[in-house]
Amino acid sequence: MATTLATPLRALAAVWNKPAFDSRDVEGALQGLGVGGSTGPSRDIVLTAPDMAENGAIVQIEVESRIPDTEAISILVEKNPTPLIANFVFSNGALPLLITRIKMAETSELKAIVKAGGKYYSVSRKVEVALGGCG
């Protein structure tokens, strides 16, 4: 029984991108994700986030990619202790739309990176944070 339960945990650990998630800056996180060079801005990525977050511990965001063949969406917060918040991988025609809550340490640039067709695209916006959520 224990072997059966441990197998999925090993599989999960195999896909965990430790260098990207442990990076202390955006450039290191992007390098860990395999994003070479700069990302091209795209109007086909919709990033919905508040202009002002009263509490950085709970900031609801929505990201939708309208780029064909979207493979992954990554969320980064520039001034967080570890900027890479999440990396969602889509397969088998899954709709590249996500709604989640994140933590923000302070007022910062929020960035969504989309991987589609082997290329990377981005969109960003500044979110003001009244009370920081990372401690």
Number of domains in the chain: 1
What predicted TM-score, i.e. pTM, was given to this entire model? 0.85
Q: What are the phi and psi torsion angles at 9 (to 5°)?
A: -65, -40
Domain assignment of residue 15, given as a range:
2-131
Q: pLDDT (tens digit, 0 to 9) for every residue of the chain, 135 residues total?
A: 444 444 554 444 446 789 999 999 999 999 999 997 778 889 999 999 999 999 999 999 999 999 999 999 999 999 999 999 999 999 888 999 999 999 999 999 999 999 998 899 999 999 999 987 666
Q: In which region does residue 37 sit, left (phi positive, over 0), alpha (psi from -120 to 50) or beta (all else)?
A: left
CATH code, domain with 33: 2.60.40.2470
- With beta carbons less than 8 A apart as the criterion, state whether 133 and 105 touch: yes
